[in-house]
A and B are shown apart, each in its own frame.
Chain A
Amino acid sequence: MHIPDGYISPAVSVPALAAMVPVWGAALNKTKKLVGRRQIPLLALYAAFSFVIMMFNIPVVGGSSAHAVGAVFAAIALGPWPACVSISIALLIQALVFGDGGILSYGLNCINIAVIMPFTGYAVYRLIAGKNTSFSKRSAAGAFIGSYIGINAAAFAAAVEFGIQPLIFKTASGAPLYCPYPLSVSIPAMMFTHTLFAGPLEAVITATALALVSKYAPDMLCKNISAGIEHNINENKSSRRKIIAAFAVLVLLTPLGLFASGTAWGEWGLDELKADLGFIPQGMAKLSDLWHGLLPDYSFEGAPEKLVYSISALIGTALIFTVILVTSKIIMHIKKADKS
């Protein structure tokens, strides 16, 4: 479910990252209210825990194995807000250390795995378990169904994010620029594996693990559940506003990327600009003149286009490599001089 870079347009992934900022702010504030100064070590340990459980391989049908996400387990055991922060941190470390999930798509991964999955799972869990403060069979059923729905909701969100890419971002000839699969492919592909395999597995693992925690540390789980209830009751309007604001940012910023559709980003020619705007901006027209002034022979009249392309590519590549090599030599020389 970790989305790598390359499948999603920056016009979607960057607003998603911006949208997560108020969510993290709200989550940190909520946790601080609940645990005070213990917030840092507590969330750090939970983030480490979230990271480690994503590495546990679980046997699945056919002799293969998959890994658990554990987001709904974390939401029930810790509360959804601390779970949101700890899973986000775990996802960041995964992206940085293992390259599991992209850097630009980090915001989207957080929305799916650290927001949609724990909050949906937790809401379903609360709906079924009620205000029962002990971990009963009803609670176990709530955890089972909550985690099943949570992981499927996250998978569905990821499938939609994949599937809208070829609808919005394509070249003039209609070829997709990012994820090439439309909704009609991405949704069945993602939902088939998650409803039949990953979902039941996550549900069994969550319910069994919570049952064990309730057996050996009943006070801890009940305390968290009580805190969760109290926390839900006291939930003020400002945090809801932050969440709504985050998604509003996402919705408002996403269409900005539509400017990129059809043409490569920043590669608008003057003709295209004229066609789109009805005029050529004066500054750009001047720059264009300046460019022709600097390189009067740029048009290479008579030279085959492919030859010009190849020669320019060779010169460009050689220039870039020379710049890096020369810079590296200079920096190493400075370092040696500093040492001596």
Chain B
Amino acid sequence: MNRVNKNLPIWLAQSENYSDYIECRPHFLRRALSEITKVFQNEFLAEKYEKYDGLLQIIDPRVKILVLLFYIVFASAVFSIFVKILIAAIGLLFAVMSKLKLSDFLRRVWCYLPPVLFILSLPAAINLFSSGTPLIYLSKTFYFTLSGIRTALRVSLTCGISLSFVYLIFATTRAVQIEKALRALKLPDVFVSILSMAYRYIFVLASEAIKVIEARFLRTVGKVKSKDERRFVSHSIASVFLKSKKLSGDVYDAMCCRGFTGKAVSLNELKFGIQDFIFTCCNVIIVLILLLGVYAFGW
């Protein structure tokens, strides 16, 4: 050990202090990297869950999309907080029955945007904006009103419900199945084709972007001026644009070689089975119960 130290320069033999190093790293590159990496994580999650034999994985994607979208519309149209909580619980139950990992579901759906929206809506719950029964006094003159807090809760719950049902669709259905369902639901063919191709090529362009950012990240030492950082981002955008333009030409040529005539063809058809009928009936009953509660019992 001593013999090695004699041959090494002093600075190399010394233990490193990483604290200064961490402070001066350009964090925007890390953030950009983590943002883009999320794309791959999401895809991984979808692939992981859709292969399970859970409730929603078995259901025909057309039925599933229509039913779950209906819940989003219904939750937006109904004002009762109790009914909204019930619909959120239905979403949670669907997630459990579909064998999704609850921690993933809660983290993706309920841990970020709904609480943020609730907090952002809180100032409007003060009696300056919302008149009504005082709920929590901030001072002698200012207080949170009951109606204001209810509005904040409604906004937060509606957002969470929307996120949870969209997550249920995405996590339990393959991209190809969603594409087929959208076609079957009579969305224009061109639109669905562009959507499905765009989804696939996001991964290609995202990996290109990751390469650019990683290359810059590995070569960056010390603090970089904000101006240079912005120039780097602008140039990366231009670079991704040029690559996407070139790639679109290559993709079109490849499609033509494989017999593309301008129209997309879907090979296997979707079938409406007995389980889809039962699932639809189950949801009709649930909606009837909810309507009954709203009309008859003032939920």
Q: A residues near B, CB below 8 A?
A: 4-7, 9-10, 13, 24, 28, 37-49, 51-53, 55-59, 63, 65, 67-68, 70, 73, 77, 85-86, 89-90, 92-93, 95-99, 102-104, 171, 173-182, 185, 201, 204-205, 208-210, 212-213, 216-217, 220, 264-267, 291, 295, 298, 308-309, 312-313, 316-317, 319-321, 323-328, 330-332, 334-335
How distant is the Cα of A212 from the Cα of B148 in the complex, in angstroms? Answer: 50
- Top 4 nearest A-B pairs (CB, nearest first) are A180-B124, A175-B147, A44-B197, A6-B158
Cα of A24 to Cα of B206 in the assembled complex, Å: 26
- Least Cβ–Cβ distance between B155 and chain A, in angstroms: 4
Find the A residue at minimum CB distance from B293: A316
Given the known interface contacts A52-B209, A316-B86, the answer about A180 and B108 at a Cβ–Cβ threshold of 8 Å is no
**Cβ of B190 under 8 Å from chain A:** yes
With A and B bound together, what is the CA distance between A173 and B209 in angstroms? 52
Question: Considering the chains assembled together, what is the distance between the CA atoms of A95 and B69 in angstroms?
Answer: 13
Q: Is the interface of A mostly helix, strand, loop or mixed?
A: helix
Bound CA span A47–B262, Å: 18
Nearest chain A CB to B123 CB, angstrom units: 8
Q: Which of B's residues lie within 8 Å of A, judged by CB?
A: 26-28, 31-32, 35-36, 38-39, 42, 53, 55, 58-59, 69, 72-73, 76-80, 82, 86, 89-90, 93-94, 97, 108-109, 113, 117, 121, 124-125, 129-132, 145, 147-148, 150-152, 154-159, 161-163, 166-167, 169-170, 188, 190-191, 193-199, 201-202, 204-206, 209, 226, 229-231, 233-242, 244-245, 247-249, 251-252, 255, 260-262, 264, 273-275, 278-279, 281-282, 285-286, 289-299
Q: Nearest Cβ in chain B — how far from A293, in angstroms?
A: 13
Contact A38 B248 (CB under 8 A): yes
B290 → A minimal CB distance (Å): 8
CB distance from A169 to the nearest CB of B (A): 10
Contact (Cβ within 8 A) A6 B159 = yes
A4 touches B289 (CB 8 A): no
CA distance A13 to B159 in the complex (A): 14
19 contacts between A and B (CB under 8 A): A5-B161, A38-B249, A40-B262, A44-B201, A45-B198, A45-B247, A48-B199, A49-B244, A55-B39, A57-B32, A59-B226, A65-B27, A104-B72, A178-B155, A182-B129, A267-B79, A328-B97, A331-B59, A334-B275
Residues of B within 8 A of A319 (CB): 289
CA distance A4 to B159 in the complex (A): 6
Alpha-carbon distance between A98 and B248 when the two chains are bound, in angstroms: 25
User: Measured between C-beta atoms, what is the minimum distance from B236 to chain A in Å?
Assistant: 6
User: What residues on B are CB-neighbors of A217 within 8 Å?
Assistant: 242, 245
With a CB–CB cut-off of 8 A, which chain A residues contact B206?
A: 52, 55
Q: Cβ of A266 and Cβ of B156 under 8 Å apart?
A: no
Return chain A residues, CB-CB under 8 Å to B169: 96
Contacts A57-B35, A208-B230 given; indicate if A180 touches B198 (C-beta within 8 A): no
Point out the residue from B27, B235, B289 that lies within 8 Å of A208, measured CB to CB.
Answer: B235
**B93, A48: Cβ atoms closer than 8 Å:** no
CB distance from B47 to the nearest CB of A (A): 13
A246 → B minimal CB distance (Å): 16
> What's the minimum C-beta distance from B62 to chain A, rounded to whole angstroms?
16
A41 proximity list for chain B (CB < 8 A): 197, 248, 251-252, 255
Asked if A96 and B170 make an inter-chain contact with CB atoms under 8 angstroms apart, the answer reads yes
In the complex, the answer to whether A175 meets B93 with C-beta atoms within 8 Å is no
In the complex, what's the smallest C-beta–C-beta distance from A261 to chain B, in angstroms?
Answer: 11
Give min CB distance, B69 to chain A, whole Å.
7
Please, which residues of chain A bring their CB within 8 A of the CB of B197? 40-41, 44-45
Partner of B166, one of A43, A48, A55, A103: A103
| B205 x A49 contact (CB < 8 A) | yes
| A320 and B90 contact, CB distance less than 8 A | yes
State A201–B93 Cα separation when bound (angstroms). Answer: 44
A157 to B15, CA, bound (A): 56
For the complex, give the distance between the alpha carbons of A37 and B77 in Å: 41
Cα distance A56–B83 in the bound complex, in angstroms: 39
Name 18 extra pairs, CB < 8 A, besides A55-B38, A67-B35, A176-B124. Answer: A5-B76, A6-B157, A24-B191, A49-B205, A49-B240, A57-B28, A93-B199, A97-B42, A104-B162, A175-B145, A177-B154, A180-B124, A185-B124, A209-B237, A210-B238, A317-B89, A327-B55, A334-B274
What residue in chain B is nearest A25 (Cβ atoms)?
A: B188
Question: A7 vs B234: C-alpha distance in the bound complex, in angstroms?
Answer: 33
> Which residues of chain A have C-beta atoms less than 8 A from B90's C-beta?
320, 324
